[in-house]
Amino acid sequence: MSAVRELSLELPHLRLAAQAWGDPQLPRLLALHGWLDNAASFDRLAPLLCEHFHIVAIDLPGHGRSGHRPPGTWYHYVDYLGDTLAAADALGWTRFGLLGHSLGGAVASMLAAACPQRIDRLFLIEALGPLTAAVDQTLTLLQRAISQRHGLPAKALRVFASEAEAARTRAQAGDLSLEAAQIMVARGIKPASGGFVWSSDPRLTLTSPQRYIEAQVLAVLDELRVPTQLILAQPAPPFLPEALINARIARVPDIDVVRIAGHHHLHLDDPQPVAAAMLAYYARR
């Protein structure tokens, strides 16, 4: 089993922190975590895969130990697609696979459809395309986003007395086991006066000013031609309803769907069945 290695990737616009597992000569997987998570999301899954893949898990901009976007800018969803390609370029990867959870899976699925010449395989956990909004929500979302950035005073960061307190809070808020939260929090906090604060950019919690409508996502998924495996937790979380995800699955020509009992972070809570499903699919393909 390969030991984890810390990496630092200098992108043209900011620095990304990352973790790597496995022999660099093996097939490449770039791993993308979920919203307000970090690269430690893959700390338990990657060691089970690294005899078959060279895995690099990045902290997305504003997350974990990576740099934050400059003052005055927004965290647009589409910018993560460019960040992902820039990370691959910094690694010297022309063609590679993607492993994405939640937000990372949404980014991975859209990028694979847009750039099939760069992506050779796709593993998705609890995501197939991004969250969407109805047309009649467009103005409401835009007004709320602008108000939060320009009309309200910035909130003071919550200070946790200990790493253990931060982990308990994260577990309660994010449907994570305490053990999984401890893994994620160790990479997601930084020292501050009186204790610890989250290292993620507070702007990540503000309302997104723009979202795709469902028809746009379906149109992209229609053109997703990369071999894809989608792993879903059972029962489905409320933000990923069965009817919506099944409608999206039906639009992808080459997709293998596996449903595993667990919660949204099933790859961190119980990685063995997730790894087994991924390796079985890889062996077939």
CA distance 63 to 33: 9
Can you point out the beta strands (E) in the chain?
5-10, 15-21, 28-32, 54-58, 96-101, 119-125, 189-192, 195-198, 228-234, 255-261
Whether residue 200 lies in the annotated active site: no
Which residues have CB under 8 Å from 211's CB, separation 6+?
Answer: 77, 130, 131, 132, 133, 137, 141
Structure tokens given for 162: 């200990």
Output the CA–CA distances (angstroms, integers) from residue 109 to 56, 57, 80, 105, 262, in the order listed: 17, 16, 12, 6, 22
CA distance 182 to 85: 30
DSSP letter at 35 equals: T
Catalytic residue among 41, 102, 109, 200: 102
Cis peptide before 153 (omega within 30 of 0): no
Catalytic positions are 102
